[in-house]
């Protein structure tokens, strides 16, 4: 892939790259810096990209690598959380209507932000970008089985957080467990 072809892909995927970067670092300006730095690194290493159809996951992987290099400490912290976490089934309550109405957007955002980075990245790459487990595994550089596990844990954690919120407001009365 030539530099111009890679540039064309990056510009076409600029929204996606920026959203991913913003979910990593949490601010708009930092996200653009991250994308630019990742793109520069991608240009320098473009010979490593064997399959042009995988250019976008590859760019996302590099953006995440750049982020992790800048945030080594928080990466170690999230690994500790993952090792300690055990997956228990979240409750099934009357969250559905609230979710459908979108009334919990802020709570969902907060719960997402509270997830470990690697759980959150897997979840957003799946739910928002629609990547397959294989592609997510490439982006976050882990086995497919780990992606499956992280997605389940992220979802369970979100449901627990939302259920807690709903219970505090009396929404989940009659919940089944």
Partner 1 sequence: MSCPTFESLSAEVDGELAQLEAEAMRSHLVGCDKCRARRTQLLLLRGAVRNASASPLASDRLKARLAATAQKRGRAKFLRLGLGLAAAAAVAGLLLPWVRSKDVVTELVGDHRGTTVTGEEPFDVVSSDANVLERWFEGKLDYRLRIPRPPATRLLGARLCDVGGRQFPLAAYDREGRRLSLFALGTAAGSQGGTCREGVAGFTVCRQAADGIDYMLVSDYPGAEAKRILTSMLSERP
Instruction: Specify whether the CB–CB gap between 152 and 87 falls below 8 A.
Output: yes
25 vs 1, 87, 107, 162, CA distance in Å? 29, 26, 19, 23
Size of the site for partner 1 (CB under 8 A): 55
63-86: b or e for each residue (b if 16 or more CB lie within 10 Å)? bbebbbebeeeeeeebeeeeeeee
Distance between CA atoms of residues 99 and 72, nearest Å: 35
Q: Binding string, 60-89, against partner 1, x = CB under 8 A?
A: ---------------------------x-x
- How many other C-beta atoms can be found within 10 angstroms of the C-beta atom of residue 4? 8
Are residues 79 and 39 in contact, defined by beta-carbon separation less than 8 angstroms?
no
Kindly identify the residues of this chain, within the stretch 133-172, that bind partner 1 according to CB under 8 A.
133, 148-149, 151-152, 155-156, 158-159, 162
Q: Which stretch binds partner 1 (CB under 8 A): 49-57, 69-77, 91-99, 166-174?
A: 91-99
Q: Which stretch binds partner 1 (CB under 8 A): 39-47, 66-74, 77-85, 164-172?
A: 39-47
Which residues contact partner 1 (rule: CB under 8 A)?
3-4, 6-8, 10-11, 14-15, 17-19, 22-23, 28, 31-32, 35-36, 39-40, 43-44, 87, 89-90, 92, 95-96, 99-100, 102, 104-106, 108-109, 112, 123-124, 126-128, 132-133, 148-149, 151-152, 155-156, 158-159, 162, 176
């Amino acid at each position: 892939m030539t530099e111009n072809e890679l540039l064309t892909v990056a510009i076409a995927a600029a929204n996606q790259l920026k959203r991913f970067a913003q979910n990593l670092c949490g601010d708009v300006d930092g996200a653009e810096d991250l994308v630019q730095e990742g793109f520069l690194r991608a240009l320098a290493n473009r010979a490593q990209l064997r399959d042009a159809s995988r250019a976008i996951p590859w760019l996302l992987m590099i953006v995440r690598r750049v982020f992790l290099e800048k945030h080594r400490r928080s990466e170690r912290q999230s690994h500790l959380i993952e090792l300690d976490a055990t997956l228990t089934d979240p409750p099934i309550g009357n969250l559905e209507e609230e979710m459908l109405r979108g009334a919990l957007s802020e709570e969902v955002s907060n719960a997402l932000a509270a997830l470990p980075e690697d759980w959150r990245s897997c979840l957003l790459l799946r739910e928002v970008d629609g990547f397959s487990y294989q592609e997510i595994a490439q982006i976050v550089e882990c086995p497919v089985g780990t992606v499956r596990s992280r997605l389940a844990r992220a979802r369970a954690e979100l449901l627990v957080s939302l259920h807690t919120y709903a219970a505090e407001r009396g929404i989940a009365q009659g919940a089944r467990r």
